[in-house]
């Protein structure tokens, strides 16, 4: 049994989608970051960085925080969505790192400055919106010749989808990125993705 500590954010949804895709049983522990629950001593003992998500694998006694690490752990535990072939494996890992280092931070900053910042700072909004659209272009080009980011559905798709799926919330459109739009529409039809996006 997996204990999943999560909230309704793109990073949190990566873990729940993955758990649904690999069909591992799990218990959901809602960590309400709007109430600062990630800073409780009990949760810091699980994740010293006070972020969601995190998992505890009761079968192995292993605790994993950082969403990318969680995806790799669950992929290796189940043998799913991370190829064994070295070349294919590292292609998936590099696109996973692209999500971790680019998609998440840039899209997250756009969310903050466009939706949540107490003061609207045009420079910040323009900077992060421009970078988000640039990343859309990178993904669109990659998806021009691939059904999924690395050909076959993988943890790279699972990591990236929840962030791209919020494009309307960010006031953006995918109309200028038809391959990315097609990919979003394809991934969102997966039953496991639909279930995972509703956790907690």
Q: What is the pLDDT along the chain (200 residues), one digit of tens a residue?
A: 999 999 999 999 999 999 999 999 999 999 999 999 999 999 999 999 999 999 999 999 999 999 999 999 999 999 999 999 999 999 999 999 999 999 999 999 999 999 999 999 999 999 999 999 999 999 999 999 999 999 999 999 999 999 999 999 999 999 999 999 999 999 999 999 999 999 99
Q: Give residues with Cβ within 8 angstroms of 3, minimum separation 6.
A: 26, 27, 29, 55, 56, 58
User: What are the distances in angstroms from CA 36 to CA 39, 78, 161?
Assistant: 6, 33, 26
pLDDT per residue over 157-168, tens digit each?
999 999 999 999
pTM beyond 0.95, yes or no: yes
pLDDT per residue over 42-61, tens digit each?
999 999 999 999 999 999 99
Contact 53, 11 (CB under 8 A): yes
Q: What domains can you pick out in the chain, each with its CATH number?
A: 2-81 (3.40.30.10), 86-190 (1.20.1050.10)
Cα 155 from chain centre: 9
């Amino acid at each position: 049994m997996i204990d999943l500590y999560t909230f309704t954010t793109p990073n949190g949804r990566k873990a729940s989608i993955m758990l649904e895709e690999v069909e591992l049983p799990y218990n959901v522990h809602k960590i309400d970051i709007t109430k600062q629950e990630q800073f409780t001593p009990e949760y810091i003992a699980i994740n010293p960085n006070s972020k969601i998500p995190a998992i505890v694998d009761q079968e192995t006694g292993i605790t994993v925080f950082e969403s990318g690490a969680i995806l790799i752990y669950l992929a290796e535990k189940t043998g799913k969505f991370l190829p064994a072939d070295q070349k294919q494996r590292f292609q998936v890992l590099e696109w996973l790192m692209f999500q971790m280092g680019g998609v998440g931070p840039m899209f997250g900053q756009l969310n903050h400055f466009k939706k949540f910042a107490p003061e609207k700072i045009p420079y910040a909004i323009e900077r992060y919106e421009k970078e988000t659209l640039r990343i859309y272009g990178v993904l669109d080009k990659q998806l021009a010749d691939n059904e999924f980011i690395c050909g076959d559905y993988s943890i790279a798709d699972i990591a990236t989808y929840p962030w791209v799926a919020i494009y309307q919330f960010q006031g953006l459109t995918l109309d200028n990125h038809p391959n990315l739009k097609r990919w979003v529409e394809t991934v969102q039809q997966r039953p496991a993705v639909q279930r995972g996006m509703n956790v907690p």
